[in-house]
Amino acid sequence: MSILVVTGTDTGVGKTIVTAAVASLARQRGSSVAVVKPAQTGVGETEPGDLDDVIRLSGVTTTFEFSRFPDPLAPAAAARVMGLPQVSLDQAAARIKELAESHRLVLVEGAGGLLVRFDEEGGTLADLARMLSAPVLLVVRAALGTLNHTALTLEAMAHRGLEPAGVVIGSWPAEPGLAERCNVADLEMLAARPLTGALPEGAGNLDRETFARTAHAGLGPALGGGFDPAAFRTTFRLLP
């Protein structure tokens, strides 16, 4: 059994698409996969959420959303505004561990970034990852500003003793500019390892079969794919 926590440097960086890609690769290998969203915010009761995108793209249908809040806020704030029960990280951890007993891989997608609050006591996704003793995959932007956000998140992970599972660019532009082409080397320096992957922009709009091929090309061997950082560097003429 294995648990992998997926977080990002911010909201909208591509966490859901990366989660779907990891799930797709695991499904292609024949592994039993479950995907968990401890808290979904910014989505109404009957509206499709992130897990619907995971199902559509990966074909993995064993998904669990523990809490949902309609306002696009951090989970703790969203619960407070609506007067709803907050997310219990203890209960979430217990349920995820149960799932891990019957699934080869359990993916846990966070809300926003690593230190976004789930409850009024200050519980975060970092705390949940520690409860689960799970490695954390960090999804980042390619554009200007990503280096500071990435450095801060990696520093927070190290401070809390979390195991990094790698850094993935959630949306790599078809025509990268100077900042994007320079940032890759710095992202790898911050992570002290080559990129674990880079998914192309628009990957979330692909059909399932094309997405499966894209996932394999865009994620590295540690995640079940064939992404080659050296070939990526050559293809896009990345700058040192």
3-state helix, strand, coil split of the chain in percent (to 5) is: 45, 20, 35
Q: For residue 222, count CB atoms less than 10 angstroms from its CB and return exposed for 0-12, middle for 13-18, buried for 19 or more.
A: middle
What is the C-alpha separation between 215 and 33, in angstroms, rounded?
16
* C-beta separation of 75 from 117 below 8 A: yes
Sorted by sequence, the CB contacts under 8 Å of residue 107 that are 6+ apart come out as 4, 6, 19, 22, 23, 33, 34, 35, 36
What is the C-alpha separation between 181 and 240, in angstroms, rounded?
9
CB atoms near residue 161 (< 10 Å): 9
What is the C-alpha separation between 185 and 193, in angstroms, rounded?
10
> How is residue 148 written in tokens?
């500071």
37 tagged catalytic: yes
- Among candidate residues 15, 27, 37, 68, the one labeled active-site is 37
H or E element at residue 173: none
Q: Which sequence positions are flagged as catalytic?
A: 37
